[in-house]
Amino acid sequence: MRIAAALLTLTALTLPALAQDTPDAAVAGTKQFEMTVLADGFGAPWEISWGPDGWLWLTERTGGKITRVNPADGTKQVAIDIEEVSAPGGQDGLLGLALDPGLLQGTGSDYVYAAYSYVDKSREKHPWVADAFSPYANLFVKIVRLTYNEADGTLGEPLELVAGLPGQNDHNSGRLKIGPTDGKLYYTIGDGGKGQLGNWCIPIETQRLPTADEIAVPDYSAYEGKSLRLNLDGSIPEDNPEIDGVRSHVFTYGHRNMQGIDFAPDGTLYASEQGPKTDDEVNILVGGDNYGWPHVVGFRDDMAYQMARWDLATTPCDQLRFSDITIDPSVPVTDESEWPEEQHDPIATLFTVPSDYNFTDNACNGIDFICWPTVATSAMQAYFPEAGEGIPGWENSLLITTLKRGSIYRVPLGEDGQTVSGPIERYFQSENRLRDMALSPDMKTMYVATDASGLVGTMDGGAGTTLQNPGAILVYTYTGEGDGNVAATTDQPAAEQADAAAVTDGIAPTFTAEQATRGKTTYDANCVSCHGPDLISANYGPPLAGPYFDGKWPGQTVGALYAHTHDRMPPSRPASLGDETYADLVAYMLQVNGVAAGDAELPADRDALNQMVIPN
């Protein structure tokens, strides 16, 4: 059903003033677009493609569905609901989608390829997961081939191509494409978020390459931080690069979180990759090459980055407090220039800053990463229209969707497609997380899928938790030239959900130390990858302690905090942990925020919790 929405001309808007000069080296794009909302209510869209049937094909990460959407009126048709999909966190579930070039071409190849995480307890649990009952202990990824039935618009007959790929609680990447010149499948796997946040004591293994013995098993644990190249039956292509004496599915290595890949018509493979605090990268992938992570981010310039080996700290790692900003003296660090190996340099970064850049901008109120100079690249569309078609002046470009700024960046390329030929342009500003993009056949309309939840930069230059168009498909249609200022989806910020009214009367909350300890165990198993080990250094969810908590929760009832936690967490399966378990989580949060434990446990009864007030 088409969403009733006014047609908005994307008018010029001055960039918001930040607390320090923005690192955004992009210039404002001059093209103008109109925006409509085609459809919404999707379960966390991840990949969107224009199909040969003239419909949009979409994966719903947490919904486990592949859904077809009519671009004329927003009508939805679920092609398949994959019950095997497991999505316990924020970056797993049903991910990549690729349509076979023979789909609906009368060739007998009416196939669709999909990648998703699933639970397989017949395999050994991941060694980096301490808790055998963690939802990630036996989480793996597989790629399957599905057959499309044109008569009823459904997908079925799943054929497993490869299984047992690394499934992780962070940085799964998960883009899936088919090469236009070689007909091979390409798939990206991230570093699992190792060496940071809740995984800060786990070594990053993006430089580890598979051995011949591992491939013979097969054991794909060394595929973290790699791009893969597969035959359409899942086997290893004979012309794959031989790296360190072994031929495997691995095409390139040394990647952090490569969520965007796309091909030029000549087969050049472009990629966008998320950096840590700086240097999201735009790369050209060349088989067998090393892209540097974690030794180098962006260029080897020793600017605003050192590799920190928390796992090798002289003080036991689990006794340290992880920080993106201040590295404990017991943690070994190395500059980028100290790494002796060769790396394939990016063609551009978004964005590089000097080492004295302030990474704790007060404008973001404790959600510091939103104000960092990275833009959180999420997907990439190679833009190579035929002569005389498409948007004038956009020929030979890369279009990159981003998660933090609600913007699309255009990277102009030279005629050879190997270099950047001018300044990067920025289009649109909204309080949305733009996840992926598909183009209409005339290449003048962009269909952009948005995240259903998450943190985002606000219109005033700060950070927010409420999205304008969650879980939607936005349509941007080219209308002509503009005046060079950044176009905004709307000048209205997302409507913040009203906090519960503060109360002046109430009793103090009570919980036991044992209950808070149980809460920490649950937090470490289910929440740490989004909110950070200290409840403050969060990259995917709002901080649960520190200045952000102090500005939001004191004076409200414990019942409001309990309801917020119970009814929303974890994002892919809210209210799934049990009422008492959520009470344990709230007890742990209260303890971390300075509330002293007592003799009675915090109850799971909402009426009782509504009588308790969080102290100032």
**Could you give the residue numbers annotated as active site?**
171
Q: Residue 371 forms beta bridges with which residues?
A: none
The DSSP symbol for 557 reads B
Handedness of CA 445, 451, 452, 453 (dihedral sign): negative
Task: Please tell me what DSSP assigns to residue 485.
Answer: S
**Rounded to whole angstroms, how far apart are CA atoms 382 and 355?**
32
Of 133, 289, 167, 162, nearest to 233 by C-alpha is: 162
Strands (E), 254-326: 260-263, 269-273, 280-285, 307-308
For the record, the structure tokens of 108 come out as 């007998």
Kindly compute the dihedral angle of the four CA atoms of residues 545, 547, 552, 554, in this order, to the nearest 10 degrees: 80
Pairing verdict, β 27-28 and 425-427: parallel
What distance in Å separates the CA atoms of residue 58 and residue 79, rounded to the nearest whole number?
Answer: 10
Which secondary-structure segment (H or E) carries 349? Answer: strand 348-350
3-class secondary-structure state, position 420: strand
Whole-number Cα distances in Å, 606 to 109, 517, 544, 564, 582: 55, 21, 20, 12, 11
391 within 8 A of 412, measured Cβ to Cβ: no
Reading the block at residue 67, the tokens are 């859904």
> Which secondary-structure segment (H or E) carries 558?
helix 558-568
3-state secondary structure of 547: helix
Residue with tokens 């989806």: 489
Distance, CA of 377 to chain centre:
8
* Half-sphere exposure (Cβ direction) of 516: Cα atoms closer than 13 Å: 19
Strand 445-450 vs strand 456-457: parallel, antiparallel, or unpaired? unpaired
Helix axes 558-568, 579-592, angle to 10 degrees: 120
Structure tokens at 507: 């009793």
Peptide bond into 351 cis (omega under 30): yes
